[in-house]
Amino acid sequence: MEINVSRSCLAIFLMLFVSGLTQIRASDTIACYGKNSKCSKKKIICPSECPSRYPKDPKAKVCYVNCNSPLCQAECKNRKPNCNSPGSACLDPRFIGGDGIVFYFHGRKNEHFSLVSDRNLQINARFIGLRPQGRSRDYTWIQALGILFDSKTFSLEATPASSWDDSVDHLSLSYDNEPLAIAESHLSFWQCPETGFKVERTSSKNSVLITIPEVAEIAVNVVPVTKEDDRIHNYHIPENDCFAHLEVQFRFHGLSSRVEGVIGRTYRPDFENPAKLGVAMPVLGGDDRYRTTSLLVANCRDCLFSGAGVLADEQEDTVGVEYGMLDCSGSGASGNGMVCRK
């Protein structure tokens, strides 16, 4: 009888041991390469909370390794924008800067503004909006992004729609002024072999993740202004336009200490954010400093972008810290008063 019990225990132990090995092997292993990687040639296993770099479930977090971090550890991140975390730009539009402080930037409808301007990167936004009778300013939303890096350009737009339909893709993409089509399925992607620039769908429609190697990652959703938002904020959205717009979250690698732009300035180590904590809608200005004449130019008053030949690791005075898509918001907080420092 004792022998049988022992054998049973041994069998159970072996089953658990094999199960444990299976779980470990089920997790992806990430290896870092490149002369600038601090984790070069190290193999890093993804945690059980996010075992895959490319999960089949669009809602699952993904495994990610910052190869420039001395920690050389895998971490879980969101592939879609988290509007309550640093680096985000959502709603009308509500920003959370690299310093973790919430602010609003109103801009003007049908105009363009630089969100980020550095020597090797320029990110502009086109604003759409409306001004109901009796209001002194426009309600605005981000309708498009224009990205300049090296000598390349990329644009992403939320296409207009009279009403919202989840079964329709409302994204329009172009690379170097040529239309870019990506199959409408989760994990479909397009990558430029010359630059490594990558656009991948994080759901079959209306969500993508943009990767500029060693420079930035940008998560984007297309969403409408809902009837509930219209009721709460009294936007007066017309019946023939749902004002499809973008939710965006940025993750940067090695911005310079002089970076400019509506949200870019908040990543500067010397930036003192004038937005007051506890204020319902703290507004930061700068429309005169960051206005550009179109989506794919860097001609704002304080723009820094210098075009081809400037790589992230060639910039002087780089901040040297990565910011972005980790969830620093706690449990569903609004973001006001959040502490998630650079």
Task: Determine what percent of the chain is predicted with pLDDT higher than 70.
Answer: 80
The residue among 254 and 219 whose pLDDT is bigger is 219
201, containing H or E segment: strand 198-201
Kindly list the domain boundaries of the chain, sorted by start residue: 26-77, 79-292
On the question of pLDDT at 168 being above 70, the answer is yes
- Identity of the amino acid at 172: S
Min mean pLDDT across 126-135, 284-293, 301-310 is at 301-310
Mean pLDDT of the chain: 83
Q: How confident is the model at residue 288 (pLDDT cuts 50, 70, 90)?
A: very high
Distances in Å between the alpha carbon of 275 and those of 211, 271, 278?
Answer: 30, 12, 9
**Burial class, 85, CB count within 10 angstroms (exposed 0-12 / middle 13-18 / buried 19+):** buried
Q: How many CB atoms lie within 10 A of CB 31?
A: 13
Which stretch, 131-135, 147-151, 334-338, has highest mean pLDDT? 147-151
Question: Which tens digits make up the pLDDT trace of 62-97?
Answer: 888 877 677 888 888 877 899 999 999 999 999 999
On the question of pLDDT at 314 being above 60, the answer is no
**Structure tokens belonging to residue 295:** 């989506």
Q: Are strands 189-191 and 198-201 parallel, antiparallel or unpaired?
A: antiparallel
On the question of pLDDT at 7 being above 70, the answer is no
Q: How confident is the model at residue 251 (pLDDT cuts 50, 70, 90)?
A: very high
On the question of pLDDT at 292 being above 90, the answer is yes
- Residue 34 has what pLDDT? 60
- Residue 341 has what pLDDT? 39
Min mean pLDDT across 138-142, 280-284, 334-338 is at 334-338
34: left (phi over 0), alpha (psi -120 to 50) or beta: left
